[in-house]
Structure 1
Amino acid sequence: MNFPVFFSKKIAFSKDNKNNLSKVIVYIGRISVALGIIVSLITVATGLGSKKAIENRISNFSGDITVKSTRSNNSYNSSVLDKKGLNLKALKSLDEVAGVQSYATVSGILRTEKNFSGVILKGVGKDFDKERFQSFMVAGSIPNYNEDGYNNEIILSEKTANDLDLKPKDSIVAIFSKEEQKPIYRKFVVTGIYKTDIKLVDDLYMIGDINHVRKIQGLQPEDIGGMDIFLKDNANMTREYPEIEKYIGYKNYAERVIDRYPQILDWINIFNQNISLIITIMLLVVVINIVMVLLILIIERTNSIGLLKTFGATNGQIRAIFINYTLMIMVPGLIIGNVVGVGLLLIQKYFGIIKLDPKNYFISTVPVDLNPVHIISISLGILITSAIVMIIPSYLISKISPVKSIKYD
């Protein structure tokens, strides 16, 4: 067996260590490692979990990539998508495309006897992905929009329903205006209530039949205002974007969801910065504590270092002994940190104990992304970084004289 490894195991697991002066320091080192692991795991798991949750929510509602007409302006009333050069079949056949749904939008006002609310009616048709939208439903059911006549059933956001004191099966009057024409009135029945926790969506959108939008806007039966394209993995959004542009026609344009909602992109970028900052701070704290432990162990075992040198051990071998010894001290801290950290994350993942205000965070519960690669990487990263950093202070051993160290008390 390698001499430094053998000797470091001997002193690490020796019963003589139970009452030495470094006992408290060793415990402090282990606690710092455990806390570093716990904080790092929670930061990475909740930070990446929040990023994914926000991206998935907005993508599942609006699509990862939206296709619109170049004639679109800042109005919520969508312009007709140009069909020249638009190859819907080719779009759907792309490997990363999970689905495509058409829509058209028009702005209006919902009015009750006591209150009113401005809304955007997002009209959808027979290609509406009900299964994807089901994750947002909090009450009622999703109507069937078959584009056969006019379906008067709508889905309201929980925010709008609460503001207007509406519940499933209630009726509501909507008012839509057109230039130089009288207001258009429509009576709808609320069949479902949804909640995305994203204020930019919940404050505005209601889902209804695309034929109502076509009628209000004066569109033809086959006209659409845009397409929501859903990808199998929204992490591939940037890579697939140029491929999708090839099949949409030159009078239409594609827009990524992160470009459509820049406020959300800014919020997501904050997670990246926070994760990097906290991981760096925790790594520094752990490394500083472990280096202090190493230095104290060297000072405490000066006599042992002198004896080892007297018996012919080289400075390199002795440095390796103490670095291995310190890393072995870290192992219990690593185990405890991972057990406690993963345990806390599992509790949050399955019970959602910690809540958030969706007005500020776009999500109502702290989400958790437990990736084994991240868990292993954090532990290995702290262990390897500590081992490398300890090389420099371990050179203190070469300054210890065998004659003086044996007399050291």
Structure 2
Amino acid sequence: MNYEFFIAKRIIGSKAYKSSVSAPIIKIGIAAIAIGIIVMLVAIATGLGLQKKVREKVVAFNGHISINSFDTNQSNESIVPISTKQDFYPKFNSVDGIKHIQGVATKFGVIRTETDFEGIVLKGVGSDYDWSYIEDFLIEGSLPSYEGKLSNEVVISSYLANRLAFQLGDTFQTVFKKRSIEEIPFQRTFKIVGIFNSGFQEIDKTFMIGDLSHIQRMNKWNKTQVGNFEVYLDDFTQLAEKENQIRGKTPSFLDTQNIEEKFSTTFEWIKIFDNNTYGIITIMIIVAGINMITALLVLILERTQMIGILKALGSSNWSIRKVFLYNATYLIGLGLFWGNLIGLALLFFQKYSGVLEFPNAKDYYMSVIPVYIGLDYILLLNIGTFVACFLMLLIPSIIITKISPVKAIRFE
């Protein structure tokens, strides 16, 4: 054990230290670090949680990457069919990191009741559709299975169900236009077997999910034709990289579009939370550092005589500075401990209880404030805060080099 650490340990453990003039200021410094950690943990956990939930909702209904035909159609309706007889389907083995690929198609229609009507987009899915992404948003009923014969079972949103006074098990008629306006439109009768709520009004008020065979028949496509392919990835952070790889492995007559491009406004909005989080972290670290600087200066002034004696006995300036830096390190560690304990307790409570909700759920696409707890950002936050506070304490510790041994021993 080096003697600097030994002296710092004795100072921390002494009764005089705990009842000294600097004790309240030191406690304030510890509290500042603890509060700062709590605020930063909450800001990061809720910011990442919101981003993750919004991302999951958008991806669940659209996939990470869409493979489409090259055309000028900008609507929600599939016009040009794509054959499923592709090298990348049903398994995209030529690119790593692809979880699933499925063929879908969309067609615009109008739900008609005795008293009302509503425009919708029927999203046709087949036996290859992965329902696990939608399952989390299902609030009533069950998910259909489209294998074998033509099915009239559909899943609609709670938004549409409320607007049209539909309930589980109800049947309704939907009208779909043909290619020519003069022709009599298609009419299909559907039965509601499930109701979902994504929280995304853009999705909820637009889409209902049904059997792909309906769209294939209305568009006079064969069973091997779809409107587009939806690709799901293992890792969202590799979105741009995987899109480039997928584009290189698909025929030249097919185009790709990732989810960030398709919903650019939404993703730009959630990226704003990163700037807010960075701002909060910077402010909290500065506040905590200033409080620790004040505590260290008071501690140095209180131990002026001790500094003079150590200098008189031959201790170097750096050696004495290490004594106080050891002391400050202990105080920072104490603040980090209590901050993490309280902060993580609050986050786990919110994660499993969901007691805190957004005042306006429509603005955030969800009602409960989401929380994401990850070991990676917790460790980085603690290490970053510790290093930043420690570096800030190196400057005020320079005052020790200005203290004269003779004057310090006489100091009262």
Structure 1 contact 80–223 (Cα < 8 Å) conserved: no
**Alignment counterpart, residue 199 of structure 1, candidates 185, 191, 201:** 201
Partner of 2:35: 35
| Match of residue 363 from structure 1 | 366
Q: Distance in 1 between matches of 2:19 and 2:135?
A: 62
DSSP-derived class of the 1:215 partner: helix
Gaps of 5+ in 2: none
Q: How does 1:331-342 map to 2 (within 5 A)?
A: 331-342=333-344
Q: Give the count of matched residue pairs.
A: 408
The residue matched to 1:129 in structure 2 has which SS? coil
> Residue in 1 aligned with 2:236?
234
Match of 1:80, as an amino acid? Answer: V
Match of 2:390 among 387, 392, 398: 387
Structure-1 residue corresponding to 2:405? 402
Contact map agreement 1:90 1:247 (CA 8 A) in 2:
no
Give the partner amino acid of 1:45.
A
**Alignment check: 8 A CA contact 2:108 2:121 kept:** yes
User: In the alignment, what sits opposite 2:26?
Assistant: 26
Q: Name the CA distance, whole Å, in 1 between partners of 2:300 and 2:121.
A: 71
| Alignment correspondent of 2:121 | 120
1:224 aligns with one of 223, 226, 230: 226
Q: Distance in 1 between matches of 2:84 and 2:341?
A: 59
1:67 aligns with 2:67: yes
* 1:138–1:193 contact (8 Å) kept in structure 2: yes
Report how far residue 222 of structure 1 moved.
2.3
Q: Which moved more, 1:176-185 or 1:275-284?
A: 176-185
Bigger CA drift: 293-302 or 209-218? 209-218
Query: Secondary structure of 1:389's match?
Result: helix
1:84–1:371 Cα change, 3 Å: closer
1:258 aligns with 2:260: yes
Identity %: 33
Kindly indicate whether the alpha-carbon contact (under 8 Å) linking 1:8 and 1:325 is maintained by their aligned counterparts in 2.
Answer: yes
- Higher mean C-alpha displacement, 242-251 vs 394-403: 242-251
SS in 2 for 1:88: coil
What 5-or-longer segments of structure 1 have no aligned partner?
none
For 2:96 and 2:361, the matched residues in 1 are separated by 34
Letter matched to residue 387 of structure 1:
F
State whether structure 2 residue 19 is matched by structure 1 residue 16.
no
Q: Secondary structure at the match of 2:387?
A: helix
**Per-residue deviation at 1:85?**
9.0
Cα deviation, residue 18, structure 1: 2.3
TM value normalised by structure 1: 0.95
- Name the residue aligned to 2:245: 243
| 1:186 corresponds to 2:188 | yes
Structure 2 residue aligned with 1:135: 136
Structure 1 range deviating more: 72-81 or 156-165: 72-81
What is the rounded CA distance, in whole Å, between the counterparts of 1:325 and 1:132 in structure 2? 52
Partner of 2:103: 102
CA distance in 1, matches of 2:216, 2:395: 73
* 8 A contact 2:308–2:406 mirrored in 1: yes
TM-aligned CA distance change 1:2 to 1:282, over 3 Å: same
| 2:324 paired residue number | 322
**Structure 1 position 86, deviation (Å):** 3.8
Q: Which amino acid aligns with 1:300?
A: E
1:235 CA drift (Å)? 2.1
* Cα shift at 1:49: 1.9
Per-residue CA distance 1:282-328 (angstroms, 9 max, x = gap) = 11111111111111111222122111111211111111111111121
Q: Deviations over 1:45-95 (max 9, x none)?
A: 221122222212211221111111111511221123444994234852233
Tell me, in whole angstroms, the C-alpha distance in 1 between the residues paired with 2:141 and 2:85: 40
Q: Who is 2:165 aligned against?
A: 165
C-alpha distance in 2 between matches for 1:254 and 1:219: 22
Distance 2:85 2:130 in 1: 25
Q: Matches of 2:333 and 2:237 in 1, distance apart?
A: 35
Q: Distance in 1 between matches of 2:26 and 2:140?
A: 56
Task: Write the letter of the residue equivalent to 1:355.
Answer: E
CA contact 1:60–1:133 (8 Å) conserved in 2:
yes
**2:350 aligned to which of 348, 354, 370:** 348
Cα distance in structure 2, aligned partners of 1:170 and 1:374? 48
Give 1:155's aligned residue: 155
CA separation of 1:103/1:82 partners in 2, compared to 1, >3 Å: closer, same or farther? closer
Please give the secondary structure, in 1, of the residue aligned with 2:341. helix
Distance 1:91 1:358 in 2: 38
2:90/2:102 contact within 8 Å kept: no
Secondary structure of residue in 2 paired with 1:92: coil
CA contact (8 A) 2:84 2:226 kept: no
Contact 2:66 2:256 (8 Å CA) reproduced: yes
RMSD (Å), alpha carbons: 1.7
Task: Show the counterpart of 1:284.
Answer: 286
Distance across 2 between alignment mates of 1:140 and 1:87: 37
- Rate the CA distance shift 1:343–1:219 in 2: closer, same or farther, 3 A: same
The one-letter code matched in structure 2 to 1:57 is: K
| Structure 1 contact 91–244 (Cα < 8 Å) conserved | no
TM-score, length-normalised on structure 2?
A: 0.94
